Amino acid sequence: MAAKFARSIRTLASITALIAAAPPVHAQNYEERVARVLKATPLIDGHNDWPEALREREGEGLWTLDLRSGLAGKPVPYNTDIERLRRGRVGGQFWSVYVSANLPGLEQVKQTLEQIDVVHGLAARYPDDFALARTADDVRRIHAAGKIASLIGVEGGGQIDGSLSVLRTYHDLGAGYLTLSHSRTIAWADSATDNPKHDGLTAFGETVVHELNRLGMLVDLSHVSEATMKDALRVSRAPVIYSHSNARALNDHPRNVSDEVLKLVAANGGVVMVNYANSYVSDAYRRWSADAAAERTRLNAPPFGGLYIGQPDKAEAAFAAWERKHPAPKVTLSQVADHIEHIARVAGVDHVGLGSDYDGVSNTLPQGLSDVTTYPALLAELMRRGWSDADVAKLAGENVLRVMATAEKVAASMEGEPPIGTPAPAATKQ
């Protein structure tokens, strides 16, 4: 009996040793699973500022710059080039045609047209890699052909300069969404990062949402105040998007989306595409960033004051010393995954996507998400947390494709409506 027991113990020990020596079953196939998902479903990023970064840094030189590779080695590294987009398995990209909200209205229109021209130029110069897309079917077709579907997002309501005719022109040139405001409150919509004036949308702002629905353009609620979010969600006939926003429950930044609004997004059928910018991901980093800005002002704030006003070298040396004592908090890929999971828990897995903000956040990005090669790593992290391939496919692109297809159906149902004229923007709610 004792011998039999000893043999059983030895057998059990051998089995345990074999199990311990074997690599974890699931750990072996994350890369394979991600590749399988992204072969069937185009990975679509809701927001990348590469065209604006190229135009700002390279000027007219962008038209001859080789965009295929090597841009990571620039003095200010780009997060994007064609070779890295391919490594990141990107299937569709909303390119932001951002211009500063501080510019006069007509200048915003001019620069927006120039930005749209840059996006068209990407497809013209690199037809084997990019193709312009307007519809969900376009994206799927282009992805199946082995190319990257290029979509356009206009990042600020000020860029239409109060004109629905300008909005329709952007649509005719391929714009797929309009962000209702950017960093500043405008004549018809309150911004998340400026003092409110309208308690949300004015009557004209609601008309803009209606016209976006009629055109089949997506209503983008990143950058807008919570009151503006609620007004837009109330009046939009089509699902909305947040092209690059996070969960406010994890980081109480006004650019993020509260749980209350996440539930409204779910009821609307929309999607929140998660942003990688450190200040929107991490509450600790947001607070550190505010402290750093205050310290810079304390040291040198021309023309009115500062400890080392007019002495930039001394101010920089003093700030470097401050940074050594107060290093920036670490922000990680895992924290971005936390935002994705929170949105999926509150709104549902059908209502979350990806909106990196690459080339728009001055390389203040989480560890593990430094450039466009890293999407598969983020998807693999979610698989490690138990996400199914079907749910990862929804996050990667199926959710936003559903939103696009639904917006197209809404536009078709409104086809008989004539274009709306442009009344003077109302300053207050009607």
pLDDT at 423: 66
What residues in the chain have per-residue pLDDT under 70?
1-28, 423-430
Residue 265 CA to residue 158 CA, distance in Å, equals 24
49 included as an active-site residue: yes
**Shortest CA distance to 44 belongs to which of 86, 82, 79, 94?**
94
SS3 189: strand
pLDDT at 425: 54
Residue 243 CA to residue 110 CA, distance in Å, equals 23
pLDDT at 305: 83
47 included as an active-site residue: yes
Residues 81, 129, 226, 357: which is the catalytic one?
A: 357
Residue 225 CA to residue 208 CA, distance in Å, equals 16
CB 275 within 8 A of CB 356: yes
81 included as an active-site residue: no
**Shortest CA distance to 114 belongs to which of 38, 51, 161?**
51
Domain parsing of the chain, residue ranges: 30-282+331-413, 283-330
pLDDT at 304: 80
357 included as an active-site residue: yes
Residues 143, 161, 171, 182: which is the catalytic one?
A: 182
Cis check: omega of the bond before 303, within 30 degrees of 0: yes
Model pLDDT for residues 71-111, shown as the tens digit of each residue: 999 999 999 999 999 999 999 999 999 999 999 999 999 99
pLDDT at 424: 55
Residues 171, 244, 253, 351: which is the catalytic one?
A: 244
- Which CATH code fits 30-282+331-413? 3.20.20.140
Residues 223, 253, 342, 351: which is the catalytic one?
A: 223
CB 150 within 8 A of CB 131: yes
Model pLDDT for residues 350-365, shown as the tens digit of each residue: 999 999 999 999 889 9
| 63-to-85, 97, 117, 159 alpha-carbon distances in Å | 19, 16, 11, 24
326 included as an active-site residue: no
Residue 48 CA to residue 279 CA, distance in Å, equals 17
Residues 45, 49, 190, 391: which is the catalytic one?
A: 49
26 included as an active-site residue: no
pLDDT at 28: 55
Residue 149 CA to residue 136 CA, distance in Å, equals 10
Residues 155, 190, 206, 211: which is the catalytic one?
A: 155
